[in-house]
């Protein structure tokens, strides 16, 4: 609504802004500046004895601060490092640290409290108004700046000496390249190391806890089974690197509950195998909800639906968990039918 729509009698009256200027409601500014409220004197402003009391209180706080600092130095010099003291409810703690902490805390607190009390009771509390000036420079100053710039460009002969100008721009463009080269110091590129894991066609799937190859009957409905590739032992060199990529979890789901067609094809009798590494920032997933077939990453609560291609249904993860295609060998053991077809973990740079 413009000010023209406001009946004149409803416009606020002209008011004294409290800093000498009269702010008048008009068409451009329908609301007059109410100004600062009138100054209310404090008790210390009108009663010298109250002001003296405040002065003594401030001086007392500063004095306590000085004493605490002396106490700090004395504690540092006199208390042995290994001495302990019983403080309820903390129990036995180092006496020196306790004394230093308390004395330093008191010294700083008293300085702060003294300054605040001084400011609130004795320093002037008149409100001041400072007008804000326009930020834009006046037209003549701007014109002068442009003129100076033109003059500088002319005197430097930037337009005339094209060879100098072009090589200067080239040099300035090249300098940032040295920073780009330094990026090499961030370490070797991962190349395709993150694309492949130890899983291969025919690799047996081994229970992570028992080290025994798994049969389909070992994976019960409702349980989450953690597994690793056969031949990967904890004492192996590089075990941590490999298990961080190859860690697997197996779940048995009623085949009719599996919604994703590819997931069903890659499973065996409803047993599905997924990477245990969260696609957010790589935490190991560990919580399984039997009724919904959801797995939850404990780090930031990303939740994946294992009955629907491990689709992300909640949380910050950006991609489903990679699935491992599995089958059963002639001896009845679960085996991988290849490697993961996509990078495991937070491989955000490789996916669309």
Residues of this chain that bind ligand FES (CB under 6 A): 278, 280-283, 297, 299-300, 302, 315-317
Residue 278: CB atoms within 10 Å: 28
CB neighbour list of residue 245: distance below 8 Å, 6 or more residues apart: 194, 196, 197, 198, 277, 344, 345
Distance from C-alpha of 280 to C-alpha of 260, rounded to nearest angstrom: 22
Give least dist CB 318 to ligand FES, A: 10
Question: Which tokens go with 335?
Answer: 């085996």
Distance from C-alpha of 99 to C-alpha of 300, rounded to nearest angstrom: 40
Give least dist CB 179 to ligand FES, A: 31
- What SS3 class is residue 304? strand
Nearer Cβ to ligand FES (58/278): 278
Give least dist CB 186 to ligand FES, A: 22
Q: Is the preceding peptide bond at 89 cis, omega within 30 degrees of 0?
A: yes
Alpha helices by DSSP H, the chain: 43-46, 48-78, 95-121, 139-156, 162-182, 239-246, 261-265
Query: Residue 60: how many CA atoms within 13 Å on its side-chain side?
Result: 7
With contact defined as beta carbons under 8 Å apart, do 237 and 252 qualify? no
Give least dist CB 306 to ligand FES, A: 15
How far CA 257 is from CA of 70, 134, 260, in Å, comes to 75, 68, 9
Give least dist CB 241 to ligand FES, A: 18
Nearer Cβ to ligand FES (268/293): 293
Distance from C-alpha of 323 to C-alpha of 317, rounded to nearest angstrom: 16
Nearer Cβ to ligand FES (206/249): 249
Give least dist CB 281 to ligand FES, A: 4
Nearer Cβ to ligand FES (203/280): 280
Residue 267: CB atoms within 10 Å: 23
Give least dist CB 340 to ligand FES, A: 17
Nearer Cβ to ligand FES (115/281): 281
Nearer Cβ to ligand FES (88/349): 349
- What SS3 class is residue 131? coil
Nearer Cβ to ligand FES (71/316): 316
Distance from C-alpha of 183 to C-alpha of 79, rounded to nearest angstrom: 50
Give least dist CB 226 to ligand FES, A: 16
- Greatest CA separation for the chain: 102
Nearer Cβ to ligand FES (316/327): 316
Nearer Cβ to ligand FES (253/317): 317
- What SS3 class is residue 231? coil
Give least dist CB 346 to ligand FES, A: 7
């Amino acid at each position: 609504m413009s000010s023209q729509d406001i009946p004149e009698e409803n416009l606020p009256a002209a008011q004294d802004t409290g800093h000498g200027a009269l702010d008048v409601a008009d068409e451009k500014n329908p609301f007059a500046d109410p100004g600062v409220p009138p100054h209310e004197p404090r008790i210390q402003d009108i009663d010298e004895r109250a002001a003296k009391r405040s002065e003594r209180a401030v001086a007392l706080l500063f004095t306590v601060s000085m004493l605490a600092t002396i106490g700090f130095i004395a504690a540092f010099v006199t208390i042995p490092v290994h001495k302990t003291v019983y403080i309820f409810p903390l129990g036995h703690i180092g006496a020196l640290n306790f004394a230093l902490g308390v004395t330093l805390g008191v010294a700083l607190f008293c300085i702060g409290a003294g300054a605040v009390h001084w400011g609130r009771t004795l320093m002037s509390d008149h409100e001041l108004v400072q007008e804000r000036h326009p930020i834009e420079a006046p037209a003549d100053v701007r014109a002068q700046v442009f003129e100076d710039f033109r003059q500088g460009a002319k005197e430097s002969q930037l337009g005339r000496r094209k060879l100098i100008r072009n090589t200067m721009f080239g040099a300035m463009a090249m300098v940032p390249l040295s920073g780009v080269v330094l990026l090499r110091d961030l370490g070797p590129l991962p190349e395709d190391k993150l694309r492949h894991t130890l899983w291969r066609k025919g690799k047996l799937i081994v229970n992570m806890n028992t080290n025994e190859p798994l049969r389909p009957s070992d994976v019960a409905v409702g349980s989450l089974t953690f597994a690793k590739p056969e031949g990967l032992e904890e004492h192996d060199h590089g075990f941590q690197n490999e298990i961080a990529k190859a860690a697997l979890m197996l779940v048995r789901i009623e085949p009719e509950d599996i919604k994703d067609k590819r997931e069903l094809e890659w499973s065996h009798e409803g047993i599905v195998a997924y990477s245990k590494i969260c696609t957010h920032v790589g935490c190991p997933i560990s919580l399984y909800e039997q009724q919904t077939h959801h797995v939850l990453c404990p780090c930031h609560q990303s939740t994946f639906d294992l009955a629907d291609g491990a689709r992300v249904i909640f949380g910050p993860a950006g991609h489903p968990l990679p699935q491992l295609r599995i089958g059963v060998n002639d001896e009845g053991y679960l085996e991988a039918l290849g490697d993961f077809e996509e990078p495991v973990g937070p491989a955000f740079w490789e996916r669309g």
